């Protein structure tokens, strides 16, 4: 598809899935880098799909299929935007490069290294991110930062075998207790993370961040009904405090724990093994490798040398300045495509591989796309709305044109 | 089998599995009550059995099958002992009663109530327990006490659904964290249980207990190799301290924990639900219902009203005096049957339904049987040694004769 549009395209090896890189020169010296990915989430559970996940089907103005939203039709909408420019002008107004990776759904394990090894090739002036879209009010949103992440598995093996809880269990070390105490040492009931130095590198949000967050709609009622929550943590009730807390505070989340007997009723056994998955969401300028070191030092200092840490990957947070001129281009162009002004979200709580784009390549990164709240990315019946697909393509054509000037 | 031997036998209903009660009068006024059970553990995993679990097979002087050791051939050995007495004397030297329940493997849920409702029927002067046997040195052991137990499941439901750990997860309550903190509030790293009043009713072991425990062989090396342990808790290295700790200290054991993602690698989810199985082993005079109340009060006082407690059953500890005359009869008779003197263990760490026999019926309870370390009760290839089976029958005949005098 890229070569048909006059791009030189290569499939470049990494230590994991290959990266597709493509480039076409344009009239001006400016270069726009577009990031997408070709991998998708597994389609299971299959029985919940109304049409087969890999046979795209259009019903009621939506196209259904695994990967239609995340992330294949973001790519095709962008190619159609390029078609429209080429049809009208016969050439591109600026240089456009595509970087399309195959590991976005599995933590982009080799992307950072790929970027470091291809700095010249990827040189650009601005970057368009893989996703974007409208919120529940149909307002297009500009998401300018992603939190980092440090994902670990903590595990303890206290014995070679499980043991009767009434016999040796009384005097032998219990893996489930060791893990419980180690976990409890990481964070207090007040949600304060107790690893020494954990907050050292945290950069506090600015007045401008707070101003932008304050403009966004409140969501306490929506969250309570969507997630069945009675209350929020730290006694926060809603409003700006809740919005700030969701994205500007680093976290330590237990994602799962497993140990011993988990069936019905009682089994009087003392477990030999226990493990927990823990993710830390990081804010600028925390670094996952630094957090990993501090975690190990903390566990050792607390007497938990028996707790092993397996690192499942991570990436630092990264943000783009809301007042960057490129962001203004993307935001202004949205009004024409979507009919309403785009709103700016300085940071979101999720994570993604934007760090090397922002910090290695030094680019402003803007989000734009056809996402919407019911797009069901990662879930059965993933879909796109055709009206938003068209709006995203229009938005893209306008952004390319304005950026080239 | 009981009726063939002149017993009047009845199958008596309970709210669970029925109890078999049988009785035959004898020459003296004394009455011996024998406790057994007819239920067995499930045979799974089936593929590990060398012969089908419910087709008893004799190989190399052992009989294999589910329930042969726990507890069917304890019952049959006792019947054969009675046969030998009847063959010689034509009558029993004392009254003998059997109580054979069907819920021993599922915490004897209805036995205590059954005993309370049949106090007259069960009236006796002494009781023989369902099990007993020799240790790894082939020395017959007299186990005189069982710890109590209070088994609970603690669970938290913080949300209606799991949530993305990077988004709502930052501000919504995490069930795994709530459970971890609640568990950590129950016991310190020093193994001290922190529930107020937990130790209030504990009766300390006597000098006689310590003297008896001191005579028993040390087991630190055996435990370390059998369970793959590097060390014991509380810095105890072995000897009498380890032996006392194993049975005379009440415990709080996490038997299992389950929450959230437990598969391979990472999933960035915040769990809505978490639960743990916890057993408390109790010593005299702690009561499970009292511990349950104190646990609830503690969790509430610590702010864990959201942690639900499900009670999976319990029973108090109970002990027989090592210097009771009936114990002397059983111990003395063992030398003749086993060829070596029986040793007295004042208390073991496990639990069982001996409380109503000791405290409601007021009986001394003696253990005797054909158990041995490789009998594999509850495991595949459960077996009995035929030589020990015969010794147990001989021991039984001698105990009945001596007791009747």
> CB neighbours (10 Å) of residue A39?
16
Closest among B201, B172, B193 to B287, alpha carbons compared: B201
B351 and A268 in contact by Cβ < 8 A? yes
* Residues from chain A contacting residue B265 (CB–CB below 8 Å): 312
B350 and A164 in contact by Cβ < 8 A? yes
A243 in contact with B at a CB cutoff of 8 Å?
Answer: no
pLDDT cut 70: percent of chain B above it: 100
Mean pLDDT of A244-251: 96
Mean pLDDT of B377-386: 93
DSSP secondary structure of B326-369 = HHHHHHHHHHHHHSS--EEES-EEEE-TTHIIIIIS---EE---
Strand pairing partners for B311? B152
B310 in contact with A at a CB cutoff of 8 Å?
Answer: no
* Residues from chain A contacting residue B145 (CB–CB below 8 Å): none
A253 and B169 in contact by Cβ < 8 A? yes
A254 and B313 in contact by Cβ < 8 A? no
Closest among B149, B179, B195, B106 to B289, alpha carbons compared: B149
Cβ-nearest to B242 among A171, A233, A269: A171
pLDDT at B305: 98
The encoded tokens of residue B317 equal 């500890």
pLDDT band at B182 (very low <50, low <70, confident <90, very high): very high
* DSSP code, position B104: G
pLDDT at A360: 97
DSSP secondary structure of B261-287 = --SSS---EE-SEEEEEEEEEE-TT--
pLDDT at A149: 94
pLDDT at A74: 98
Q: Could you tell me if A26 and A95 are in contact, meaning their C-beta atoms sit under 8 angstroms apart?
A: yes
Cβ-nearest to B181 among A169, A184, A276: A184
Measure in Å the smallest separation between the Cα of A245 and chain B Cα atoms. Answer: 7
Cβ-nearest to B265 among A169, A233, A312: A312
Whether A84 shows a pLDDT value over 80: the answer reads yes
* Residues from chain B contacting residue A107 (CB–CB below 8 Å): 266
Whether A169 shows a pLDDT value over 90: the answer reads no
Give the Cα separation of A112 and A134 in Å (integer). Answer: 29
Beta strands in A244-287 (DSSP E): 251-260, 269-270, 273-282
A281 in contact with B at a CB cutoff of 8 Å?
Answer: yes
Q: In what order do the strands lie in the sheet with A62-64?
A: A57-59, A62-64, A383-385
Q: Which residues contact A337 (CB under 8 A, 6 or more apart)?
A: A140, A391, A392, A394, A395, A398
CB pairs under 8 A between A and B: 248
pLDDT at A107: 82
Q: What share of chain B is helix, strand, coil (3-state, %, to 5)?
A: 35, 25, 40
Mean pLDDT of A75-96: 98
B171 and A257 in contact by Cβ < 8 A? no
Closest among A357, A82, A226 to B171, alpha carbons compared: A226
For chain A, the average pLDDT equals 96
Mean pLDDT of A5-20: 97
Measure in Å the smallest separation between the Cα of A309 and chain B Cα atoms. Answer: 13
pLDDT at B124: 98
Whether A179 shows a pLDDT value over 80: the answer reads yes
CATH 3.40.630.10 fits A7-144+320-404, yes or no: yes
A199 vs B222, more confident: A199
pLDDT band at B391 (very low <50, low <70, confident <90, very high): very high
Give the Cα separation of A29 and A23 in Å (integer). Answer: 13
Whether A81 shows a pLDDT value over 80: the answer reads yes
A167 in contact with B at a CB cutoff of 8 Å?
Answer: yes
Question: Helices B73-89 and B386-404: crossing angle, nearest 10°?
Answer: 50
Closest among B1, B30, B24, B10 to B90, alpha carbons compared: B24
DSSP secondary structure of A342-399 = -EEES-EEEE-TTHIIIIIS---EE----B-TT--TTSTT-EEEHHHHHHHHHHHHHH
B107 in contact with A at a CB cutoff of 8 Å?
Answer: yes
A204 in contact with B at a CB cutoff of 8 Å?
Answer: no
Give the Cα separation of B121 and B22 in Å (integer). Answer: 10
B168 and A223 in contact by Cβ < 8 A? yes
pLDDT band at A267 (very low <50, low <70, confident <90, very high): confident
Mean pLDDT of A52-68: 97
Measure in Å the smallest separation between the Cα of B23 and chain A Cα atoms. Answer: 34
Whether B172 shows a pLDDT value over 90: the answer reads yes
| CATH annotation of A148-202+250-315 | 3.30.70.360
pLDDT band at A378 (very low <50, low <70, confident <90, very high): confident
- Rg over alpha carbons for chain A, rounded to the nearest Å, is 24
A290-300 tens-digit pLDDT: 999 999 999 99
Please name the fold of domain B3-144+320-404. Aminopeptidase (3.40.630)
pLDDT at A138: 96
A227 in contact with B at a CB cutoff of 8 Å?
Answer: yes
B80 in contact with A at a CB cutoff of 8 Å?
Answer: no
Mean pLDDT of B33-43: 94
Domain-wise residue ranges, chain B: 3-144+320-404, 148-202+250-315
Search chain B and give the residue with CA nearest A250: B170
Mean pLDDT of A45-49: 90
Give the Cα separation of A322 and A344 in Å (integer). Answer: 7
Whether B168 shows a pLDDT value over 80: the answer reads no
Give the Cα separation of A217 and A138 in Å (integer). Answer: 13
Give the Cα separation of B331 and B403 in Å (integer). Answer: 12
Q: Is B156 helix (H, G, I), strand (E, B) or coil?
A: strand
Whether A67 shows a pLDDT value over 90: the answer reads yes
Closest among A331, A356, A299, A371 to A124, alpha carbons compared: A356
* Residues from chain A contacting residue B348 (CB–CB below 8 Å): 166-167
Give the Cα separation of B251 and B245 in Å (integer). Answer: 10
Q: How far is CA A91 from CA A2, A27, A74, in A?
A: 14, 7, 22
Give the Cα separation of B46 and A223 in Å (integer). Answer: 49
Confirm whether B3-144+320-404 and B148-202+250-315 share one CATH topology. Answer: no
Q: Could you tell me if A244 and A218 are in contact, meaning their C-beta atoms sit under 8 angstroms apart?
A: no
> CB neighbours (10 Å) of residue B65?
23
Closest among A142, A70, A133, A104 to A347, alpha carbons compared: A142
pLDDT at A221: 94
Closest among A86, A132, A117 to A391, alpha carbons compared: A132
B167 in contact with A at a CB cutoff of 8 Å?
Answer: yes
A173 and B281 in contact by Cβ < 8 A? no
Search chain A and give the residue with CA nearest B163: A227
Cβ-nearest to A159 among B229, B247, B277: B229
* Residues from chain B contacting residue A16 (CB–CB below 8 Å): none
pLDDT band at A170 (very low <50, low <70, confident <90, very high): confident
Q: Which helix (H) or strand (E) holds A308?
A: strand A308-315
Cβ-nearest to A172 among B166, B177, B232: B232
Q: How far is CA A249 from CA A19, A200, A314, in A?
A: 33, 13, 17
Cβ-nearest to B260 among A181, A255, A348: A255
Q: Could you tell me if A234 and A251 are in contact, meaning their C-beta atoms sit under 8 angstroms apart?
A: no
pLDDT band at A245 (very low <50, low <70, confident <90, very high): very high
Mean pLDDT of B366-385: 94
pLDDT at B106: 82
pLDDT band at B45 (very low <50, low <70, confident <90, very high): confident
pLDDT band at B265 (very low <50, low <70, confident <90, very high): confident
């Amino acid at each position: 598809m890229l070569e048909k549009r006059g791009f030189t395209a290569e499939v470049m090896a990494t230590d994991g899935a290959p990266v597709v890189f493509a480039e076409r020169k344009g009239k001006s010296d400016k270069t726009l880098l577009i990031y997408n990915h070709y991998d998708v989430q597994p389609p299971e559970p299959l029985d919940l799909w109304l049409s087969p996940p890999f046979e795209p089907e259009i019903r009621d103005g939506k196209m259904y299929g695994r990967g239609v939203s995340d992330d294949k039709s973001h790519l095709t909408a962008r190619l159609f935007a390029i078609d429209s420019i080429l049809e009208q002008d016969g050439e591109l107004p600026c240089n456009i490069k595509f970087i399309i990776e195959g590991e976005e759904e599995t933590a982009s394990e080799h992307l950072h290294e790929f970027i470091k090894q291809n700095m010249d090739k990827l040189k650009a002036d601005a970057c368009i991110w893989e996703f974007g879209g409208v919120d529940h009010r149909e307002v297009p949103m500009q998401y300018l930062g992603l939190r980092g992440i440090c994902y670990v598995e903590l595990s303890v093996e206290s014995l070679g075998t499980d043991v009767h809880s009434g016999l040796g269990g009384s005097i032998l070390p219990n893996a489930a207790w060791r893990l419980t105490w180690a976990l409890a040492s990481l964070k207090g009931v007040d949600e304060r993370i107790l690893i020494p130095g954990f907050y050292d590198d945290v950069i506090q949000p600015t007045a401008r961040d707070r101003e932008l967050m304050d403009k966004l709609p409140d969501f306490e009622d929506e969250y309570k009904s969507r997630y069945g929550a009675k209350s929020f943590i730290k006694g926060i009730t809603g409003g700006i405090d809740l919005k700030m807390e969701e994205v500007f505070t680093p976290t330590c989340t237990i994602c799962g724990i497993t140990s011993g007997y988990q069936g019905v009723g009682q089994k009087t056994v003392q477990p030999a093994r226990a493990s927990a998955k823990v993710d830390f969401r990081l804010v600028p300028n925390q670094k996952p490798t630094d957090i990993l070191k501090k975690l190990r030092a903390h566990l050792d200092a607390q007497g938990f040398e028996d707790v092993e840490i397996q690192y499942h990957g991570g990436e630092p947070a990264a943000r783009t300045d809301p007042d960057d001129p490129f962001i203004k281009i993307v935001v202004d162009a949205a009004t024409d495509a979507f009919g309403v002004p785009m709103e700016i979200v300085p940071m979101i709580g999720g994570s993604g591989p934007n760090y090397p784009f922002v910090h290695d390549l030094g680019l402003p990164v803007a989000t734009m796309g056809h996402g919407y709240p019911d797009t069901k990315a990662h879930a059965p019946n993933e879909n796109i709305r055709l009206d938003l697909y068209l709006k995203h393509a229009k938005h893209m054509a306008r952004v390319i044109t304005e950026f080239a000037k």
